[in-house]
Amino acid sequence: MKRSIGLGLLFSALLATAAMAAPQYGDAGFELSNRDLSTKPGDDFFQYANGTWLKNTPIPGDKSAVSLRLAMSDLTEQRLHDLLEAASASAPHKPGTLEGKVGAYYKSFMDEAHVEALGATPLKAGIDTIRSAKSRSDIAALMGRNNADFENALAYLYIDVDLKNPDVYAIYLTQGGLGLPDRDYYLSKDFEKEKAAYESHAATLLSLIGWKDPKDAAAKIVALETKIADASWTRAQQRDLSNTYNPMSVDALLQYAPGFDWRAYMKGMKLGDASRVIVAEKSAFPKIAAIFGSADLDTLKAWVAYHYADNASPYLSKAFADAWFDLHGKVLGGQKEQKLRWKRGVQVVAGGDFLTGERLNYFGNMGWGVGELFAAKYFPPSAKAKIEELVQNLKAAYRVRIQNLDWMGPETKKEALEKLETYNIKVGYPDNPRDYSSLVILDDDPLGNAQRSAALEWAYHASKLGKPVDKSEWFMTPQTNDAYNGSLRDIVFPAGILQAPMFDADADPAYNYGAIGGVIGHELTHGFDDQGRKIDAKGALRDWWTETDGKEFEARASKLGAQYSSYEPLPGLHIKGELTMGENIADAGGLTLALDAYHASLHGKPAPVVDGYTGDQRVFLGWAEAWCGRYTDDAIRQQVVSDPHSYRKFRVNGVVVNIDAWYAAFGVKPGNKMYLAPKDRVHIW
């Protein structure tokens, strides 16, 4: 299981450029002009730290958000653009080198005239195959191609470490089948506009591929997905690791969830010999399989054809690309205008995941190959040492805090400290590059390039079955502007997140501890939250807490959840405290650890005052500026229903109100709007 820091986390000045003469944002590390001094810190700390910037910085038309993180991503995007432009300038039609393949792929997408002339032709073979399906077993087999082509599926399959036998890989199955971001979009009246737009979009794409009766077919597709949504688990339910670990044989799955040909699906995945799977949302699978089994064949074929066209649309002519943007960009993301083609081209080849918060992550990219070239140019070895040192400092602070917890017993503490020592720290880029030698890339075939790249990527993952677990493996490309906690024992910081304002090698240490230190602490605590407590030091699924400690943790977490559920990013739209529980705990713990680590780094000496701010104040302001930004209303609504991370304002205000040192640092007292009495503050770490 991979845990991402999520929307808005950033790191430092790509340390390739870290030899700056002065800090990027001033001596204190943060930009003083961003503050709103008309707001008291104790009334709205997020606004105090960032208000002037928020007021003066509009959301660009081609984005659904604006933030300092996205500004950082813009730098990465520009560097990738320069890299791809240079690679494409000399790329042959069918290159053999990594740089040549990256360049030819980019060139194929950027030849807009050729793409327009092709129209829907690149889809013909795939759509014809869907039309020729004779049975539900044929449809199940087509759905089994969703990891290697543009099909969608009623269940998604991935390969990862077996949580109860972490020395081997296992096949996991999780619920799927929905084209909108979350089940709420089908079942809640709050999303009637989006649901109607989705049906219209389906009709448009079906019309573009020449499907019979596209409006009627679109209505049936949405009706089918609404049934699937009603049968699906909520995202909060999906967070319980114990309930989502349900191993069974494929034969047993056929009996447990009849109506869907799981054997045909596995053969479509090229895993026909597989005998065992781990089912996530166990009670949903029989219902979803029954929905499939009772649906008429024509509706199922239309469903597969629509999703095939929708997933392929970004690579096709203007009619397809514009239709895709109208739904996914405008309606669901709140964007006003489509990105420039070169920006989409960068995402096509490098992968959209390098832009945290970006709703588009192009399928079938060469992200690992681009990342290899990117890291070689922009991430020197000295960067690894910088971040590894910070991680070790945070680990030391966490070790002390665990030892001194007043609510955790000695038995649980012993296991917690053992687990802390097992954390594997990965920085910058993976040690083992991905092999692209067999990948065929042509400079005039963007859709085919995506399909072949996706097939190669899936073959890589499928080949892991039966092999020893590779503990050095990464799941984010080096250019990614995020970090993650793999299997809750692995902390990974790609090169792309190592940029200001999260870390600036020339800035004041207090700011860096608040920003990057808070992020490091966030990731560390994930291994010990409501999910992490169920993964032990060996990486096995086992609740290693005593019953007494577990109940105390749950009581404190429940109190924190109630706090967050009271927050409203938009009037009447409340954060889901249960869904965001783990990330909220990690945010609070991360900043608490960062403050401890900063104090330890002073070695008993008093903290200097910089730009009029004490050391503790700069730590808190570092955290606040790291989250500086805002989303469109549509993007906020999508995040609240589907994202386990709270909206950025409350990743600041919701955290500091529970840290006693924040009250002392900024003189927050009764009467301030954010003031919580000591008895109401939640202390976990």
Looking at the domain assignment, is residue 612 inside a domain? yes
Instruction: Judge whether 39 and 51 are in contact, CB under 8 Å.
Output: yes
- Quick one: three-class SS letters along 232-243? CCCCCHHHCCCC
555 and 671 assigned to the same domain: yes
C-alpha separations of 645 from 24, 188, 290, 640 in Å: 28, 21, 33, 8
67 and 158 assigned to the same domain: no
37 and 164 assigned to the same domain: no
546 and 670 assigned to the same domain: yes
d(C-alpha 337, C-alpha 432), whole Å: 39
pLDDT at residue 13 tops 60:
no
Interval 174-233: pLDDT, tens: 999 999 999 999 999 999 999 999 999 999 999 999 999 999 999 999 999 999 999 999
The reported pTM is 0.85
Least confident window among 164-178, 214-228, 486-500 = 486-500
d(C-alpha 463, C-alpha 461), whole Å: 5
Would you state the pLDDT for residue 354?
Answer: 57
392 and 296 assigned to the same domain: no
pLDDT at residue 358 tops 70:
no
C-alpha separations of 108 from 67, 101, 103, 409 in Å: 31, 10, 9, 61
Cis peptide before 286 (omega within 30 of 0): no
DSSP one-letter code for 541: B
Q: Work out the average pLDDT over 397-417.
A: 95
Q: Work out the average pLDDT over 639-648.
A: 93
Instruction: Judge whether 513 and 619 are in contact, CB under 8 Å.
Output: yes
Q: In what order do the strands lie in the sheet with 424-428?
A: 2-4, 484-486, 490-494, 424-428
pLDDT at residue 3 tops 80:
no
CATH number at residue 196: 1.10.1380.10
d(C-alpha 2, C-alpha 352), whole Å: 17
Would you state the pLDDT for residue 488?
Answer: 60
Buried b (16+ CB within 10 A) or exposed e, 100-118: bbbbbbbbbbbeeeebeeb
Give percent above pLDDT 90 in the chain.
79
Interval 292-320: pLDDT, tens: 999 999 999 999 999 999 999 999 999 99
Least confident window among 15-19, 403-407, 624-628 = 15-19
297 and 427 assigned to the same domain: no
pLDDT at residue 501 tops 50:
yes
CATH number at residue 522: 3.40.390.10
Looking at the domain assignment, is residue 166 inside a domain? yes
305 and 376 assigned to the same domain: no
Q: Work out the average pLDDT over 123-143.
A: 98
Instruction: Judge whether 560 and 588 are in contact, CB under 8 Å.
Output: yes
Would you state the pLDDT for residue 9?
Answer: 30
At residue 410, φ and ψ (nearest 5 deg) are -65, -35
Least confident window among 39-48, 520-529, 649-658 = 520-529
Looking at the domain assignment, is residue 205 inside a domain? yes
Looking at the domain assignment, is residue 161 inside a domain? yes
* pLDDT band with cut points at 50, 70 and 90 for residue 5: very low
Q: Work out the average pLDDT over 607-611.
A: 94
466: left (phi > 0), else alpha (psi -120 to 50), else beta? left
Choosing from 279, 300, 315, the residue where a domain stops is: 315
pLDDT at residue 12 tops 80:
no
Looking at the domain assignment, is residue 337 inside a domain? no
Number of separate domains in the chain:
2
283 and 385 assigned to the same domain: no
173 and 38 assigned to the same domain: no
299 and 161 assigned to the same domain: yes
d(C-alpha 321, C-alpha 212), whole Å: 21
Least confident window among 354-368, 475-489, 518-532, 627-641 = 354-368
Interval 60-104: pLDDT, tens: 998 899 999 888 889 999 999 999 999 999 999 999 999 999 999
pLDDT at residue 486 tops 90:
no
* pLDDT band with cut points at 50, 70 and 90 for residue 1: very low
Choosing from 299, 315, 331, the residue where a domain stops is: 315
Choosing from 249, 281, 315, the residue where a domain stops is: 315
Least confident window among 7-16, 363-372, 392-401, 524-533 = 7-16
Looking at the domain assignment, is residue 83 inside a domain? no
67 and 188 assigned to the same domain: no
Which residues are registered as beta bridge partners of 2? 486
Range of the domain at 243: 136-315
Looking at the domain assignment, is residue 92 inside a domain? no
182 and 73 assigned to the same domain: no
Looking at the domain assignment, is residue 573 inside a domain? yes
Would you state the pLDDT for residue 17?
Answer: 36
Interval 217-274: pLDDT, tens: 999 999 999 999 999 999 999 988 889 999 999 999 999 999 999 999 999 999 999 9
